[in-house]
Amino acid sequence: MRKLMLILGIFAGILIISCGSNKKETKPDTLLIGLSMADLKEERWQRDRDMFIEMAKTLGAEVLVQDASGDPNMQMQQCDNMFVRGISVLVVIPKNADAAAPIVEKAHKKGVKVLCYDRLITNAEPDLYVSFDNVRVGEIQATEIVKLVPKGKYLELLGDPGDKNADMVHEGHKKALNEAISTGNIEIVMSQSCDKWLGSEAKRITEDALTRFSIDAIVASNDGTARGAIAALEAKGLTGKIPVSGQDADLLNCQYIVQGKQAVTVYKPIRKIAEFSAVAAIAMAKGHPVEGINTKVNNGLIDVPTAFLDPIPVTKDNIDQTVIADGFHSKEAVYQ
């Protein structure tokens, strides 16, 4: 009984405290941007977040960040929460292109505009899409590998089967490889999707491929999958002998490039997309026109106004002038 009274007492105490501190509201004139992220597990998304916040802050806006940990339902619910918090504009990195459609619908009901960051939301009417051209990314990956291995058996590691970007990268691969495939110079002996872009998936697939075929080159869709592939190559003592492509210029992969373990990664300067999006989001919140829209992308329902930014291939030869010169990674870290 005494315990129950104790609990009720604590409860009453908190009630009083909370009544006292209820007045703590955020300043009404600060612009609040909602940033809904699918997942923060990959190194790159943390950079996106940090650079986005940095830029928004210098422009005088506040950012509320949500990480859905890869759960599309959770992402939906977190966006609901942010609408209650009164965000003026919503920046979404959707976990799933289709499943995020109701987020756009709900945002518009609340009069909040939606910017799709790096990944397009399909079958909805988002207000802006900012990304690097992912078809170009795939094209660069395959082209760079073909430069090294113009003839031979290729393994193709694709991204998450639910991610539209993975499809676009795949399309780029096809664009670059089709000619060589039709002439018979190149044969794709295996092409598989890696769930959630996981390196472990890529490793398993590469191991299988190496057992069944003699592979000459690996076109991997991002650096996570490239790491998986390289781990599998390492176990067979094949690192450096079979070129591997990647995307994102993760630190470990940049090290692999200078060590000769990985042939190429496609660098999409995150600062560029983060800062562009922060500026665009604030313009949208204020009802100003967004500068830098250069194309439209059809998402199944409408042509979404799109700003495509340029990706850059990074090899041993130009890593100093790109990734390191940008301060994306320090020279010491890459050449450790």
Partner 1 sequence: MPDTLNQLLQSLNKRIVFMVSLILVIWLIFNALSGGYILRAENIANLFRQVTVVALLSIGMTLVIVSGNIDLSVGSSLGMFGALTAALITQVELNAVAAVILILCLGFLVGCLHGTLIHYFNIPSFVVTLGGLIAYRGVTQYIARKAIPIRTPWIKAIAQGSVPESASLLMAIIIIIILWIIIFRNRAMHSKANLHTQPLWIDCVKAIMISTLIAVFTVVLVNGEGYPVQVVILLALALIGTLIVRFTRFGHYVYAIGGNKDAAHYSGVSIATNIILVFGIMGLLAALAGIISISELSSAAPDIGDLKELEAIAACVIGGTTLAGGSGVIGMSILGALVMASIKNGMSMMGIVAQMQKVILGSVLILAVALDQWSRNTRKNRR
In terms of CB distance, is 85 or 241 closer to partner 1? 85
Nearest approach, Cβ of residue 39 and partner 1 (Å): 9
In terms of CB distance, is 53 or 334 closer to partner 1? 53
With beta carbons less than 8 A apart as the criterion, state whether 255 and 336 touch.
yes
In terms of CB distance, is 21 or 183 closer to partner 1? 21
Q: How far apart are CA 218 and CA 231, in angstroms?
A: 13
In terms of CB distance, is 10 or 235 closer to partner 1? 10
Q: Hey, which residues between 217 and 246 contact partner 1 (CB under 8 A)?
A: none
- Residue 193 interacts with partner 1 (CB under 8 A): yes or no: yes
Q: Hey, which residues between 34 and 53 contact partner 1 (CB under 8 A)?
A: 40
Exactly one of 31, 59, 65, 188 binds partner 1 (CB under 8 A); that residue is 65
Exactly one of 30, 50, 151, 161 binds partner 1 (CB under 8 A); that residue is 161
- Residue 171 interacts with partner 1 (CB under 8 A): yes or no: no
Nearest approach, Cβ of residue 73 and partner 1 (Å): 6
Residue in 200, 197, 238, 236 with CA at minimum distance from that of residue 216: 238
Q: How far apart are CA 96 and CA 79, in angstroms?
A: 14
Nearest approach, Cβ of residue 7 and partner 1 (Å): 6
Among the listed ranges 18-26, 142-150, 177-185, 250-258, the one in contact with partner 1 (CB under 8 A) is 18-26
Exactly one of 48, 66, 131, 266 binds partner 1 (CB under 8 A); that residue is 66
Mark 202-222 as b/e (b = at least 16 C-beta within 10 Å): bbebbbebbeeeebbbbbbbb
Binding track over 273-312 against partner 1, x by CB under 8 A? ----------------------------------------
Among the listed ranges 80-88, 240-248, 254-262, 283-291, the one in contact with partner 1 (CB under 8 A) is 80-88
Nearest approach, Cβ of residue 275 and partner 1 (Å): 21
- Residue 76 interacts with partner 1 (CB under 8 A): yes or no: yes
- Residue 116 interacts with partner 1 (CB under 8 A): yes or no: no
Nearest approach, Cβ of residue 123 and partner 1 (Å): 6
Site size toward partner 1, by CB under 8 A: 50
- Residue 15 interacts with partner 1 (CB under 8 A): yes or no: yes
SS (H, E, C) the chain: CHHHHHHHHHHHHHHHHHHHHCCCCCCCCCEEEEEEECCCCCHHHHHHHHHHHHHHHHCCEEEEEEECCCCHHHHHHHHHHHHHCCCCEEEEECCCCCCCHHHHHHHHHCCCEEEEECCCCCCCCCCEEEEECHHHHHHHHHHHHHHHCCCEEEEEEECCCCCHHHHHHHHHHHHHHHHHHHCCCEEEEEEEECHHHCHHHHHHHHHHHHHHCCCCEEEECCHHHHHHHHHHHHHCCCCCCCCEEEECCCHHHHHHHHHCCCCEEEECCHHHHHHHHHHHHHHHHHCCCCCCCCEEEECCCCEEEEEEECCEEECCCCCHHHHHCCCCCCHHHHCC
Strands 264-267, 152-158: pairing kind: unpaired
- Residue 67 interacts with partner 1 (CB under 8 A): yes or no: yes
- Residue 26 interacts with partner 1 (CB under 8 A): yes or no: yes
- Residue 54 interacts with partner 1 (CB under 8 A): yes or no: no
Summarize as ranges the residues that interact with partner 1 (CB under 8 A): 1, 3-5, 7-8, 10-11, 14-15, 17-18, 21-22, 24-26, 40, 64-73, 76-78, 80-81, 83-85, 95-102, 123, 161-162, 193, 195-196
